[in-house]
Amino acid sequence: MNDLTRLTIAEIGDGLRARKFSAVELTRAYLANMEAARSLNAYVAETPEKALAMAAESDRRIAAGTARRLEGVPLGIKDLFCTEGVHSQAGSHVLDGFRPTYESTVTAQLWADGAVMLGKLNMDEFAMGSSNETSYYGPVVNPWQARGSNAKLVPGGSSGGSAAAVAAELCAGATATDTGGSIRQPAAFTATVGVKPTYGRCSRRGIVAFASSLDQAGPIARTVRDAAILLRSMAGADPGDATSAEVPVPDYEAALDLGVRGLRIGVPREYRVDGMPAAIEALWEQGRKWLEAGGATIVDISLPHTKYALPAYYIVAPAEASSNLARYDGVRYGLRVDGDDITDMYEKTRAAGFGKEVKRRVLIGTYVLSAGYYDAYYIRAQKVRTLIKRDFERVFADGIDAILTPATPSAAFGLEAMAMASPVEMYLNDVFTVTVNMAGLPGIAVPAGLTEEGLPLGLQLIGKAFDEPMLFRTGREIERAAGHFTPRRWW
């Protein structure tokens, strides 16, 4: 690996301003890493010419003294974000050949702040998956391997390409999205930092929709500070998205070194699920001790409706997906499979264009929205969602500043390990993360340790709405205590 690609985003900014290297040199170093790591399948489209042109512009601005906040920082972009004139297919065959004529708000803000686009990152098709194995472009391979083993592992999903690319030094940071854990779970599987902001903190305009009331964009980075830097550029109100919030975006870096002394951190008893591995339980206890050592008070709390979150989520999310994916019909863009008439064309296009998991969720969603089942399933799930939100509101009203939980129920598992299992077993990977989306709250996954086999594990912190600074503050405390973890290069 090139030494330049080991630099954090904060260090890149310092190095470029000090003229220790150029943005073009940095970009070339990342492009070389990407070429050497194609076996990880993290990128579905590389944009070297565009990257070098953007880097050259960054060098000109640095020389002129007009550098912007992210000047020259090379980023990877999840394939769910529309990028003008560049492959944007949400990991699906049904959007074959789609190159938007517009830019998503989040990526436009990153480019306006001087970031450089290296390419589009692999992902589970339409963000539906927890292992990055449902992508039309094949699975992403986790850059981590168990000690003494060469077995290939999943990077988590749906933002598996984003997490793997950041961990393997194929980009300095990446955009990602989180509908039920799709930022935090892959971050935990790859020893990266993943932030799911408050619903409405980042614009959804130009991001391919999965479940519109749950989807939220966020960053994956190598450090808590880097995640804070990226989120500041990604966040903000957008008149083009009615669900984006008119809330000021703070300087997240300013909160990083405040420490946790005097904070009250909640530990929910309902997150101790049956069959929790001893390694997860031990890590959770270690996290409590780290925060206590920093001066925080640990408080046992109850979130009684947690047990209903996963089944409610897997009603609400597929229902919204069923509605959102109805637009893919082969008429205006993407794949088209000719048929005898327009109905036949619709059917053949969707049959050929959608993968198995997407079809499964569309069918579930269509079923729960159908006449006779809407009240029994969808309405009841939305009522449960309200109760979950009230649980969090009550706890925070009682003076809790943040909540500490595991990020995942296990470390990364093997490619195809779930192939013969029930889909429900895969869905259980989201058991610790879906509550955050159902309540619209912010969450962060921070690397916190390794299993006996040498695989990463992460801890999750959950905050009040729009209190991301508290998550960066508490997450930095865990990061400081746990240290940093990097995979052995084997690819």
Task: List the catalytic residues.
Answer: 78, 158, 182
Count CA atoms closer than 13 A to 429's CA, side-chain side.
29
Q: Return phi, psi of residue 68, to 5°.
A: -95, 180
Residue 257 carries which DSSP code? T
Residue whose C-alpha is closest to residue 140's, from 124, 119, 117, 118 = 124
User: How many angstroms separate the Cα of 415 from the Cα of each of 42, 153, 168?
Assistant: 14, 5, 18
d(CA 278, CA 19): 48
Does residue 30 come out as left (phi exceeding 0), alpha (psi in the -120 to 50 range) or beta? alpha
Residue 327 carries which DSSP code? G
Amino acid found at 346: Y
- 């850059």: which residue's tokens? 143
d(CA 158, CA 177): 8
User: How many angstroms separate the Cα of 65 from the Cα of each of 42, 59, 121, 206, 221?
Assistant: 35, 10, 32, 32, 27
d(CA 105, CA 82): 9
Query: Are 262 and 99 in contact, with CB atoms under 8 Å apart?
Result: no
d(CA 423, CA 379): 23
- 């086999």: which residue's tokens? 453
Which two three-digit tokens encode residue 327? 């637009």
Query: Are 191 and 144 in contact, with CB atoms under 8 Å apart?
Result: yes
Residue whose C-alpha is closest to residue 93's, from 360, 353, 357, 328 = 353
User: How many angstroms separate the Cα of 219 from the Cα of each of 1, 228, 255, 449?
Assistant: 23, 8, 17, 21
d(CA 446, CA 260): 15
